[in-house]
Amino acid sequence: MQEQGKHTVPTSTFIVVWIALLILTALTVMVAELHIGRASVLVPLVIASAKAGLVLWFFMHLKYEKRLFKLLLLMPIGTLLVILLLTFADGKVRANTRVPAEVLSRLRPYADKL
C-alpha cells in the first residue's frame, strides 16, 4: 500500500472554515425562527449540506484526495438526494389527499379525548 503525501494546511484555513461554520449555524437558527412556510425545511437542509461540504472538504482533507474518491463520494450523496426528493413528493401527494367524512366522524370521539 502506497503512503500518500502529507498535506500541510495553514491554521488560518481551519480558523476561517470554523468561523464560516459558526456563521452558517447562526443562520440555521435564524431561519428556524422565521417560519418561512414551505422553505422552512429546504433552507436548513441546504445550509446543513454546505456545512457538511466544508467539513468534508477541509477538515477531512477531501480537497487533497484523488478524483476517483471524490466521484465515489457522490454516490451516497446522490442516493440521499433521491430519498429526500421521494419523501417530499410523497408528502405533497398526501397533503392533497382528503380523508372521507365517514372516517373523520368515527375518529372525532377519540380526538375529543386528547
pLDDT tens for 12-70 read 999 999 999 999 999 999 998 988 887 888 899 899 999 999 998 888 888 888 888 88
Q: Residue 33, Cα to own-chain centre: how many angstroms?
A: 18
SS3 35: coil
Contact call for residues 43 and 31 (beta carbons, < 8 A): yes
Rounded to an integer, the average pLDDT of 79-102 is 83
> What is the per-residue pLDDT for 2?
47
Angle ∠(35,49,43) on CA atoms, nearest 5: 20
| Cα gap 36→26, rounded to integer Å | 16
Contact call for residues 58 and 17 (beta carbons, < 8 A): yes
| Cα gap 24→32, rounded to integer Å | 12
Does the predicted TM-score (pTM) go above 0.75?
no
- Per-residue pLDDT for 5 more than 70? no
